[in-house]
């Protein structure tokens, strides 16, 4: 599936957005390594802080279906500005796919492609960072087995 095709699915998912408070509808489509697509839309709540972003809805749906490896996400919004996933979604996506690629669309048929590692450099993780980013530990700490 091409990024453009994935974006078309995100645009379709956007139609289901429940955004009566912000009136800002968002759709997302997440592509697994195996080629399956899971979509999401933002789901707001009268208790504002309980609203969920489209990206996290798509991710949670995919994980609940047993998927954990993702290659692309498309995010679609309306208006002239292209979609920009919020910081919370960047971190949550990074948990499963730090190298995720993104296609971010606006409401006028324009889009751009980027990578999550560019949108969220130095993402928090409890996993070992890649060797290139690991700091050498002082010998004094190593000797004590810390
Ligand atoms: N929202 C998303 O669903 N995804 C984004 O990338 C940015 C923000 C939602 C949250 C809220 O329902 C509305 O857009 C306005 O912030």
Give tens-digit pLDDT for 49-101. Answer: 999 999 999 999 999 999 999 999 999 999 999 999 999 999 999 999 999 99
Q: Quick check: is 40 in a domain?
A: yes
* pLDDT for the residue numbered 41: 99
Ligand 1 in contact with 54 (CB < 6 A)? yes
Q: Is the pLDDT of residue 24 over 90?
A: yes
The pTM (predicted TM-score) of the whole model is 0.90
Query: What DSSP element (H or E) covers 37?
Result: strand 37-41
Mutation choice for ligand 1 from 11, 18, 26, CB with most ligand atoms inside 8 A: 26
Q: Quick check: is 128 in a domain?
A: no
Q: Quick check: is 143 in a domain?
A: no
CA distance 7 to 74: 5
Which residue is catalytic, options 55, 71, 95, 99? 55
Ligand 1 in contact with 42 (CB < 6 A)? yes
CA distance 100 to 116: 5
CA distance 83 to 74: 9
Neighbours of 37 (CB within 10 A): 18
* pLDDT for the residue numbered 127: 85
Residue nearest to atom 3 of ligand 1 (CA): 53
Q: Which two tokens stand for residue 23?
A: 């009136």
Distance 24 CA to ligand 1 centre (A): 7
Distance 99 CA to ligand 1 centre (A): 22
CA distance 132 to 134: 6
CA distance 118 to 116: 5
CATH number of the domain within which 64 lies: 3.40.140.10
Q: Is the pLDDT of residue 38 over 70?
A: yes
State how many domains the chain has: 1
Ligand 1 in contact with 26 (CB < 6 A)? yes
Distance 26 CA to ligand 1 centre (A): 6
Report, as an integer, the average pLDDT of 17-37.
Answer: 98
Distance 54 CA to ligand 1 centre (A): 7
Q: Quick check: is 91 in a domain?
A: yes
Which residue range forms the structural domain that includes residue 64? 3-121
Q: Quick check: is 132 in a domain?
A: no
**pLDDT cut 90: percent of the chain above it:** 86
To the query of whether residue 55 is one of the catalytic residues in this protein, the response is yes
Q: Quick check: is 51 in a domain?
A: yes
């Amino acid at each position: 599936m091409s990024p453009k095709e994935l974006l078309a699915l995100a645009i379709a998912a956007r139609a289901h957005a429940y955004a009566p408070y912000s009136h800002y509808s968002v759709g997302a489509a997440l592509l697994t390594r195996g080629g399956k697509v899971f979509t999401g839309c933002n789901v707001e709540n009268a208790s504002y802080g309980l609203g969920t972003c489209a990206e996290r809805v798509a991710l949670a749906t995919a994980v609940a279906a047993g998927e954990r490896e993702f290659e692309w996400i498309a995010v679609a919004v309306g208006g002239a500005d292209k979609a920009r996933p919020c910081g919370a979604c960047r971190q949550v996506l990074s948990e499963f796919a730090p190298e995720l690629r993104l296609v971010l669309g606006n409401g006028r048929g324009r889009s751009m492609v980027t990578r999550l590692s560019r949108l969220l450099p130095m993402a928090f993780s409890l996993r070992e960072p890649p060797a290139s980013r690991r700091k050498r530990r002082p010998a004094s700490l190593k000797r004590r087995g810390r």
